Structure 1
C-alpha cells in the first residue's frame, strides 16, 4: 500500500463481538448528534415563530394608533414575561421529543450506514434490504474506507443485505473488482457481492447481485 493509503482508515475485524460493540457505540453517537441537531432546529424555529408573531402584534397595534411607543414598553413588561414562560414550555416539550428519539436503539442497518460506513455512502434499498451502496464525496476531504476483511464484513451484516445468505466465500479479483460468493445454509450459491475499489484499495461501492 502506498504512503497516501497509510493515512486512510483501515477497518479490520479482530473479533465479531468487539466490532459489534464499537459499531453500536458509533450508532449511538450518530443518534445523539442527530438528536442535538433536531433540538437546535426546533429551538430556532419556535423562537423565530414567536418573535415574528410578537413583532407583528406590535406593528398592528401601532398602525391602529391605540398605543404609543411608551405603552409598548409597558405591555412588554407584562406580556414579555408571559411570552418567555410560554416559550420555555414549548422548548421543554421539543427537548422531550428529542430525548424520545435518542432512546430508540439503532438497528443493524443504522450501525452499518451511520456507524461503520460513517455516513459516507449512499445506499440503494430494495424491500427494506440494502442492494448496494456507493461512496459519495459530500464533504471536502472525505475518503473512501478500506475494508480489510470483506468476507467478515459481509458475515456480520448479512441480515442487512438483499440476499438471505449464511456463508461467504472469496471468488475472484479482476482489476479493481473483488467478488465474493454468497451461499445459503444448505450450501447453495445465492449470488455474489461485488466490491469496486480505487487504486489505493479503498471501497468505492458494493453491489449484491443474484
Structure 2
C-alpha cells in the first residue's frame, strides 16, 4: 500500500469497529451518507462541529483539506479542544477527536499548499501532534490517534501519499504514540527526523 491507501484502510477499520465513528470535511464523501459526509468550506466550523460531536461521545474524524488552512480553526483547537478536560476539572473531554490534514511541502504547492504548522500546536497542552513517515506508520498511528483519550492533530506529509510504499498489515493494529522508531543504531551521530525527511535517512546513513 501507499500512504494514501493505508490511511483509507485505517479509517475503514476504525469505522467498522466503532459504530460512533464519523468522517467529515471538505471533499471526503466516498460512501455512507450518515457517517461520511462533506462540510461547508469553513475550517473553524469543521473543528467546532468535531468538538461538539466528540463531547457527545462520538468518534469524530475530521479533515482540513490542507494544513495551510487550519489557522482559522486555531482558536477552536487550542482554546476549546485542548482545554476541554482541564476546564471541566476532568469531568468531560473530547478524547475521541482527530483532525487529519495534508501537510508539508510537495515541491510545487506555493505558499498556500506547502506549510508545516505543527510547531504552533506542539506547545498547546492537551493536544497531541502526530506525523507519520511511512504507510505502516500512517495506518498504525492513525488508529492509535483515533482511539487516544486526547484530541489529536494528525499531519500527513502529502509528498509521501503515493511515493512511499510498504507491505502494510491489513488487520487492525496500532503503533504507540510518542515512542521513537530507531532505524539504525550507532555510536557517533544521532539524527532525529519526522514526516517527509525520514525516507532520505537511509541515503544519509549509508
TM-score range, shorter chain: under 0.3
Give TM-score scaled by structure 1 length.
0.26
Give TM-score scaled by structure 2 length.
0.26
Q: Which has the higher contact order (CA 8 A, sep 6+)?
A: 2
Larger radius of gyration: 1
Bigger proportion of residues as helix: 1
